[in-house]
Chains A and B, each alone.
Chain A
Amino acid sequence: MKFLDVMQFASGSLRGSRARTLLMILAMSIGVAAVVVLTGLGEGARRYVINQFSSLGTNLIIIFPGRTETAGFGPGMLLGQIPRELSLDDAQSLLRSRAIGRIAPLTIGSSQISRDAINREVVVLGSTSELLTVRHMSLKKGQFLPAGNIHSSESVCVLGSKILLELFGKQNAIGAWVRLGDRRFRVIGILSDQGESMGFNTDEIVIIPVTSAHMLFNTSGLFRILVEAKSRDAIMQAKKEAESILVTRHNGERDVTVVTQDAVLATFDRILRALTLAVGGIGAISLAVAGILIMNVMLIAVSQRIHEIGLLKALGAPASQIRNLFFAEATLLSVIGSIVGLILGQAGVLVIGKIYPSLPVTAPWWAILAAFGTALGTGILFSVWPARRAAALDPVTALSRS
């Protein structure tokens, strides 16, 4: 029997019992679609997090004061001890490491910003000119904080785009004066719209030189030091050296925390990938259920078509041929079901993408392959028993059964 004839015969018998065929295709396609949509969601979440992280900067190391203890209960917690501050000199000393390319000290506070009668509360970032590159920000207009002496407290500021809109509307703001607290600052630049990243909206901040911020808020400590390593390979080296420099400066006390962005990112990546696999696995269970359904329906088909099987044997079909016919049916069902499922799944992914545009939902290629493979596999695997049963039928009893 030729391959084409086998397929034709199989598709003929599938067409012969339409309701049963449609039901099985439906079960199969729901399984495949579930895998595609679920892994698509998981992958979307993973990409979303990675995008958020890489928008923070590259080869980034973040230093903050205090030591996050992972275990134990120190006396400092009882006494309410405040960890030693990170100073501007601490930040500058980091440049002694050859693995470190740029640093950007960060002070944060909130203040009243006003222009004429308009005023609002605003988050004020104190930093240096390096922040622009380290933090991957870009300017819409004007210039960023001037480079030069870190201790000079020039009265200039850079506005987030939303602040600009609220204070100046469509008017030109460059060169204008605004009041922050009790000091006046000249606007020298406008940040371009970047929106939110990691819960921090750069459209609603004002950036001023770090020393001006210290004066404005009457502090001397830093909130963070952002450090950019010279290259990806230098990250670990930079982390180690930053730590040792700061420990030396702090009289041998390890009272800072140094985190690499990569480490955080890798952890998220691992967690979300595991999550994707897990939801994909849950989807695969529905595929297995579809497989069992196929097996049941095939078993019923074998007993319903017992005369036909007996006849085929009488007409000279060996057991292997009958097995192949049933296999072909299962394979056809699985292939059609998988294709329908892929289409459904992709449509589902598309719809979710439309509803949540910020989530980059796409089913990863490996999940699509796996769904297709599992569907085919279960379809064929679960047809082994029915097909063998059909092939093993005794033609005499098959023909005489009424």
Chain B
Amino acid sequence: MIEFNQISRSFMVGDQQVSALRNVDLNIAAGDYVSIMGPSGSGKSTLLNLIGLLDRPSSGIYRLDGGNVTDLNDEQQAHVRSQKIGFVFQSFHLVPRLTAAMNIELPLILAGMPVAERQSRVEQLLENYGLKDRADHRPDQLSGGQRQRVAIARATSMHPSVLLADEPTGNLDQTTGKEVINLLEQLTEQNVTLILVTHDPVLGGRAKRQLHMVDGQIIRETERSS
């Protein structure tokens, strides 16, 4: 499903070229549960951004669902993001002036979905994530766990096949963090590919496949010992 072929990404910092990713080859099948671990600066976020089409590789080829998405233009990449990819961020990234329900509705609005369908979907998601009585609250009236639940509901509202989570528990306490991880893991049972970036080995150890990165390269892959 996700196929990286010799992907590299380098940035110019001042007049120096810094490689964030070096010739990465990677294959992730549909429904996989993958964690990416490594020290900061190892390139795990860059890898995630490349998978999510938020960034473009300096070289190499990226295939998603068999199609080459490397050379798509901005508009086409946006469409792929809209239809196939969901993001969950460490700092939630909810729009502060919109209610929980409207935040969840946002991707549907951007995709131009009809109002009736939008509403029934938002209703369903609020129900699924236990946010029914919080629907009309704005983000600043929600707890951290509730905010991340809204963010996950938003990320899954377009039924994406890939869910990318960048330190989703980083701003949460232990208990709510566990709740959030449980929600994400439930999604893998519905054949959603979950890719989780974390530096927490306990959290990363729960994934079926664990990629360890150092210096822009995947140096080791381990399987869950179950």
Cβ B82 vs Cβ A316 within 8 A = yes
A317 at the interface (CB under 8 A from B): yes
In whole angstroms, how far apart are the Cα atoms of A1 and B112 in the complex?
4
B55 at the interface (CB under 8 A from A): yes
Query: Known contacts being A318-B74, A319-B74, A320-B75, is A395 close to B83, with CB within 8 Å?
Result: no
A72 at the interface (CB under 8 A from B): no
Contacts of B78 in A (CB 8 A): 313, 316-319, 321
Contacts of A313 in B (CB 8 A): 54, 78, 81
Contacts of A312 in B (CB 8 A): 106, 110
In whole angstroms, how far apart are the Cα atoms of A34 and B70 in the complex?
54
The chain B residue with its CB closest to the CB of A325 is B110
Contacts of B98 in A (CB 8 A): 12
Residues of A in contact (CB 8 Å), total: 25
Cβ A395 vs Cβ B54 within 8 A = yes
B107 at the interface (CB under 8 A from A): yes
The listed residue (A308, A310, A316) touching B110 by CB distance below 8 A is A316
CB B157 to nearest CB in A, in angstroms, measures 9
Query: Known contacts being A311-B93, A396-B55, is A2 close to B112, with CB within 8 Å?
Result: yes
Cβ B83 vs Cβ A316 within 8 A = yes
B97 at the interface (CB under 8 A from A): yes
A385 at the interface (CB under 8 A from B): no
Contacts of A16 in B (CB 8 A): 96-97
Q: Tell me the residues in window 86-116 of chain A with beta carbons closer than 8 Å to chain B beta carbons.
A: none
In whole angstroms, how far apart are the Cα atoms of A316 and B110 in the complex?
7
Cβ B95 vs Cβ A311 within 8 A = yes
Contacts of B95 in A (CB 8 A): 308, 311
A399 at the interface (CB under 8 A from B): yes
In whole angstroms, how far apart are the Cα atoms of A214 and B42 in the complex?
114
Cβ A315 vs Cβ B106 within 8 A = yes
Contacts of B49 in A (CB 8 A): 396
In whole angstroms, how far apart are the Cα atoms of A13 and B96 in the complex?
10
In whole angstroms, how far apart are the Cα atoms of A396 and B49 in the complex?
7
Cβ B79 vs Cβ A13 within 8 A = no
Query: Known contacts being A315-B106, A317-B110, A318-B74, is A307 close to B82, with CB within 8 Å?
Result: no
In whole angstroms, how far apart are the Cα atoms of A311 and B97 in the complex?
14
Cβ A316 vs Cβ B97 within 8 A = no
B158 at the interface (CB under 8 A from A): yes
In whole angstroms, how far apart are the Cα atoms of A318 and B111 in the complex?
10
Cβ B81 vs Cβ A314 within 8 A = yes
Q: How many contacts between A and B, using CB within 8 angstroms?
A: 68
Cβ A316 vs Cβ B109 within 8 A = no
Cβ A314 vs Cβ B87 within 8 A = yes
Cβ A318 vs Cβ B79 within 8 A = yes
CB B138 to nearest CB in A, in angstroms, measures 10
A5 at the interface (CB under 8 A from B): yes
CB B109 to nearest CB in A, in angstroms, measures 5
> What 1/0 mask marks residues of chain A from 1 to 37 whose CB sits below 8 Å from any chain B CB?
1100100010011011000000000000000000000
CB A376 to nearest CB in B, in angstroms, measures 26
Cβ A12 vs Cβ B97 within 8 A = yes
In whole angstroms, how far apart are the Cα atoms of A261 and B223 in the complex?
102
B52 at the interface (CB under 8 A from A): yes
Q: Tell me the residues in window 111-156 of chain B with beta carbons closer than 8 Å to chain A beta carbons.
A: 111-112, 154
In whole angstroms, how far apart are the Cα atoms of A396 and B46 in the complex?
9
In whole angstroms, how far apart are the Cα atoms of A16 and B96 in the complex?
9
Q: Tell me the residues in window 53-112 of chain A with beta carbons closer than 8 Å to chain B beta carbons.
A: none
Query: Known contacts being A9-B109, A12-B98, is A316 close to B54, with CB within 8 Å?
Result: no
> What 1/0 mask marks residues of chain B from 82 to 97 whose CB sits below 8 Å from any chain A CB?
1101010100010111
In whole angstroms, how far apart are the Cα atoms of A314 and B82 in the complex?
8
Cβ A316 vs Cβ B79 within 8 A = yes
CB B105 to nearest CB in A, in angstroms, measures 10
The listed residue (B89, B93, B96, B111) touching A316 by CB distance below 8 A is B111
Cβ A318 vs Cβ B93 within 8 A = no
Cβ B87 vs Cβ A318 within 8 A = no
Most chain A CB within a 10 A radius of its CB, from B52, B55, B83, B93 = B93
CB B85 to nearest CB in A, in angstroms, measures 8
Cβ B109 vs Cβ A1 within 8 A = yes
Contacts of B109 in A (CB 8 A): 1-2, 5, 9
Closest 3 CB pairs of A and B: A316-B82, A318-B78, A16-B97
User: A interface vs B, CB < 8 Å?
Assistant: 1-2, 5, 9, 12-13, 15-16, 307-308, 310-321, 395-396, 399
**19 A-B contacts, Cβ less than 8 Å apart?**
A1-B112, A5-B112, A311-B95, A313-B78, A313-B81, A314-B81, A315-B107, A315-B154, A316-B78, A316-B81, A316-B158, A317-B78, A317-B82, A317-B110, A319-B74, A319-B78, A396-B54, A399-B89, A399-B93
Using A1-B111, A396-B54 as known contacts, list a sample of 15 further A-B pairs with CB atoms less than 8 Å apart, ordered by residue number in A.
A5-B112, A9-B109, A15-B97, A308-B95, A314-B81, A314-B87, A315-B81, A315-B154, A316-B78, A316-B82, A317-B78, A318-B78, A319-B74, A319-B75, A399-B93
